[in-house]
Structures are given as C-alpha cells and as structure tokens.
Amino acid sequence: MSASIEITKVTKRYGALTVLDDISLSIKAGEFIVFLGPSGCGKSTLLRMIAGLDDVTDGTIAVGGERIDTLPPGQRGVAMVFQSYALYPHMTVAQNMSFGLENIGVAKAEIERRVQQAAATLEIAHLLDRKPAKLSGGQRQRVAIGRAIVKEPKAFLFDEPLSNLDAALRGRTRLELAQLHGRLGSTMIFVTHDQVEAMTLADRIVVMHNRKIEQIGTPMEIYQRPASRFVAGFVGSPAMNFVPVNGTVENGHTLTIGTSGLGDIAAAMRLPARFSPDGASLGIRAEDVVVLPAGQAGIPLTAEVVERLGDRTLIYGHLSDGTKLVAETDGRSEARMGDTLQIALDTSALHLFDADGIAHHAEGN
C-alpha cells in the first residue's frame, strides 16, 4: 500500500519566527524521497507536520488525495520511525511490534499475521521473543521499522533513523533500507543531513536551506547540475571547488571566464543577459581537475595535504594566487606535500555561480 503526498504552500511559524516558508512539493506513490540539508533548515519540522506532530501554520498536506493536516496523527495513514528507537524495555520484540495494533483493537489473528510478515521481511523472526536489552543497535532499529510496517501505512516517515549507529552498521542498515523499499514499494520520506545516505537511498532528493527548498532532483541531477552554490557546496565529498571570477567575455557559444589563479578558461556556456561577473565564482569538482603527467605543462597547483583513500588520492593545494583547490587523482599517485603539480580542467564540467549563488552550467554538463 502506498500513496502520493501533496504539500501545498506550507508555512510554519513559532510566533514571529518562521522556520518553513511557502513549501510546495509533490511526491509520487512509491517514491523514496530524502529531505537533505544542514541542521536548522526545517527538514525535520516538515516531516513532523506530515506526521501530525507539529501543526501547519498555513497551507495544506494531502496523502492519497485526502487532506490530512486537519486530522489527528493516528488517522493520517502514515507511520514514523524516529532517531531514538523508543522501544519498551519490558516488552519482547513481538510485543513492541504489536502494541500499537492492540491499542486500536485489531484482531489478534491479524496482529499475528502482520508481526510475522514484518519480521520475515526484516529478517528478525528469530528475535521475536527477545527484549530490547538483548539486541544490537541495528536489531533495535529493525524492530522500530517493524513497528511501523505492521501499521500498513500509506507512507513511512524516517527522521534520521541511522544517526545512533556506528559507521559500519550505518552502511549495512542503509543498504537494508534500500532493499526494504524495493520489497515493499511503499512511499518513504527520509530526513538526513548525510549526503551519502541521500545519494544512496533517494529516488529524488529535496535539498533544503534557510527555510526553503533549494533544489529537487535525482541524486545525479543534484550532483551534476546543482541549482545553486549552496547545493554545489553541500552535496559532494570533497565539496565543489570555488574560484573567484574577475570577468567574462562571450563569443558565440564560447564563454571566456577570467580568474586570477586559473587564468582565462574557455567553456561552452551561455549566460543570461542579466548576468554580472561581479561577485561570481567558477565551480568545478575535484574529479574534474586533471593532474597531468610529469613533464606536461598546465596550471600549477602546490600540494598542501595529500589524502590517500586507496582507490583515489585527494590533493588539497593552492594556486599561484593562494586560492585553495582540491584535485582527485589515481590511488597510486606519488604526489607529496609541497610538490608543485600541473593540472588541467575538464571544461565540459564547469559551473558558474553569480553573486546570488544561482548556477549556470557548461553545455556538456
């Protein structure tokens, strides 16, 4: 069972403080949507308003075509999984999963069917008689998810559910969630500040910043064609490089971008007539900064830190004018701190951001 979700012009205020401002979003039935953004951007507040834990100041929320923002939480047809597992320590796994159904009078046989089915889906059937103290963190998280599954909701809401797990367990649980979505086909909304979780899990990512939606797109759309400098800097590890621009000259489809550290860079890019280079910056990701073979001339980059990650090497350095730049090269790189390397740019992967942070992309990107 899954349903579409329609969020229309939703605003949330606490007195004079506005925490969400005129948010609109359409979620298809069966989609896995991730709300991504820094702390304080409003992503958890938006999730809580869908769940009914926070009131909507203005606007409407509908699930499956039915307006729900005026309904109490229990009648909205959604189930929420919190960052804290919130399991009853004196109850077994089976009792934790069935407790909510018992409270609303679901028949015993139906409860048993749902608990067994959810336990099989989550591969925790062998744990049903255990109490939470006898479970690992990952197992407790599965029980919390199972408690949501047995409600057979129209949509699942996850509020940073992996935050309490260690790094290795987060990785495994992240993959299990992706597999779970594939098996259930349910509408899921997942809140996180972790871009890896977002890129791994999402059909579409909703990047939030400063009370608003900054961009909506597939993981690769967000990564390859960020709508703003904020998105470009927030999504990607390492973050996108930004180099100050001191002028632009257009000649047909070719744009020459003037910089101090990189010199003049020519790219296939068209700019709107209103574009001004004042306060603009050139953006390029580390993997699109090419470290040239020894003896080949290019743009000099002096290495300050060399980070060896096995399959790749990240070189954190500075250009001739002191501008910081990160380049990615082969894991077998022999570059050392203090070396001056020669680099080139993949000009089909350039981005230009105006003073307001609005993005313009090379035509090959």
Which H helix or E strand runs over 230? helix 229-234
> Alpha-carbon distance 21 to 6, whole Å?
16
3-state secondary structure of 206: strand
For residues 11 and 212, give the distance between their C-alpha atoms in angstroms, rounded to a whole number.
Answer: 10
Residues in a beta bridge with 190: 34, 158
- Which own/partner pairs from 203-206 qualify as long-range (CB within 8 Å, at least 24 positions apart)? 203/31, 203/32, 203/33, 204/31, 204/33, 204/34, 205/33, 205/34, 205/36, 205/235, 206/25, 206/33, 206/34, 206/35, 206/36, 206/43
**pLDDT at residue 94 greater than cutoff 80:** yes
pLDDT at 82: 84
301 has a pLDDT exceeding 70 = yes
Ranges 83-97, 285-299, 314-328: which has the least confidence:
83-97
Distance CA 355, CA 198 (A): 28
232-239: Cβ within 8 A, 24+ apart = 232/283, 232/351, 232/353, 232/359, 234/36, 234/37, 234/38, 234/195, 234/207, 234/209, 235/36, 235/195, 235/198, 235/199, 235/205, 235/207, 236/195, 236/285, 237/195, 237/196, 238/286, 238/314, 238/326
pLDDT single digits (tens) 239-260: 999 999 999 988 878 899 999 9
Is 365's pLDDT higher than 80?
no
Weakest-pLDDT range from 33-37, 76-80, 300-304: 76-80
Among 72-76, 154-158, 162-166, which is the least confidently predicted range?
162-166
Q: Which of 303, 337, 301 is nearest to 319 (CA)?
A: 301
Percent of the chain topping pLDDT 70: 99
The domains of the chain, with CATH numbers, are 5-226 (3.40.50.300), 241-361 (2.40.50.140)
Task: Give the chain's length.
Answer: 365
Share of the chain above pLDDT 90, in %: 70
AA letter at 252: G
Residues forming a β-bridge with 291: 343
Best CA proximity match to 54, nearest among 26, 101, 13? 13
The answer to whether residue 166 scores a pLDDT higher than 80 is no
Kindly tell me if the per-residue pLDDT of 214 is higher than 90.
yes
Query: Which residue(s) pair with 360 in the sheet?
Result: 352
Task: Region of 160 please: left (phi>0), alpha (psi -120 to 50) or beta.
Answer: left
Q: What is the mean pLDDT of residues 326-347?
A: 94
Residues whose CB falls within 8 Å of the CB of residue 304, separated by 6 or more in sequence, listed in order: 316, 317, 318, 337
- Position 303 scores a pLDDT of 96
Across all residues in the chain, what is the average pLDDT?
Answer: 92
Distance, CA of 329 to CA of 288 (rounded, Å): 10
pLDDT for 191: 95
What is the spatial distance between Cα 79 and Cα 358, in angstroms, rounded to a whole number? 37
Contact 144, 81 (CB under 8 A): yes
